[in-house]
Amino acid sequence: MLVEGVHFDRGRLDDHAIGARAAGANLSDIAAMAARPLCLVAGFGLPEGFGGAEQLAAGLASYGVPVAGGDLSRAPVLTLSVTAIGRAERPLLRSGGRPGDRLVVTGRLGAQAVSGYTLPVRPRLAEGLELAAIATAMIDVSDGIAGDVRRLAAACGCGATVWLDRLPLADGATVEQAATGGEDFELLAAVSPGAQLPDWVTEVGVLSEGAAVELVDAAGTARELHGWDHFR
């Protein structure tokens, strides 16, 4: 669910971009399960006087995934709830990683934070399907790797170490933006120790025994960094 004032600001994104963002964020979850999208279903909550429903719908459809249905309602602030439905022969879960698995990410991190969360979302659908061949667990980086690595590790029953100096930084991004900015919608995967890595991922850490998750700098010092929390 994307809620005006919580997830987006109508001053920064036009209605088409808001619809696209809602679709892209959900398609990113499909990518993270190594699935192929079949369709989208959307509920829009529209505030009094809002005239952009057609633009929202056009943005929603902009990834070429059919919009199979949905509903409209009155709401106090613009609210979009999108469900992406996909199919996977063998869905890749968050929970299959084991100690010793390497942690890799696609693309670069922090670009959305640098842009003020206005860049188009590019769900990593093709990359998700390809990573399925070597990944033991996968998640999309929606709240910043500092948060999402904790979710992945917890689901695997593991701890983890992330090397902050190895994070692939977007142009102009600080390590903090890359680790905690969120909404980059890259994929974070655990891969078997012996797997051959494609050249479009970056190795950023490792799963470990125990439950401790540490983000360490180049000097080996753990940093207190946390992903974005809607409820914070």
5 binds a copy of itself (CB under 8 A): yes
* CB 83, min distance to a copy of itself, A: 4
Task: Compute the C-alpha angle 69/141/102, nearest 5°.
Answer: 130
Lookup: tokens for 30:
């499909």
Torsion of CA 78, 83, 84, 89, to 10 degrees: 160
Of 72-80, 89-97, 113-121, 176-184, which part binds a copy of itself (CB under 8 A)? 72-80
Q: Is 28 in the site for a copy of itself (CB under 8 A)?
A: no
Per rule CB under 8 A, count of chain residues that contact a copy of itself: 24
Q: Please, where are the H alpha helices in the chain?
A: 15-32, 53-60, 111-115, 125-131, 145-156, 175-180
Q: Which of 9, 12, 54, 72 binds a copy of itself (CB under 8 A)?
A: 72
Nearer to a copy of itself, 75 or 119 (CB): 75
* Alpha-carbon gap, residue 51 to 46, rounded angstroms: 9
**193 binds a copy of itself per the rule CB under 8 A:** no
Instruction: Return the structure tokens found at 5.
Output: 């004032």
Which CB atom, from 91 or from 157, has the smaller least distance to a copy of itself? 91
CB of 187 to a copy of itself, least distance (A): 18
Q: Is 66 in the site for a copy of itself (CB under 8 A)?
A: no
DSSP secondary-structure letter at 29? H
What is the spatial distance between Cα 220 and Cα 111, in angstroms, rounded to a whole number? 25
The dihedral over CA atoms of 28, 2, 113, 9, expressed in degrees to the nearest 10, equals 150
Contact flag: residue 151 with a copy of itself (CB under 8 A):
no
154 touches a copy of itself (CB under 8 A): no
- Name the token pair of 148: 């999402």
Per-residue binding string, a copy of itself, 76-105, x by CB under 8 A, is xx-x-x-x-x--------------------
How far are the Cα atoms of 1, 34, 102, 135, 180 from residue 204, in angstroms, in the given order?
A: 30, 21, 8, 14, 15
Nearer to a copy of itself, 1 or 133 (CB): 1
Residues that bind a copy of itself (CB under 8 A): 1-3, 5-7, 41, 43-46, 71-77, 79, 81, 83, 85, 230-231
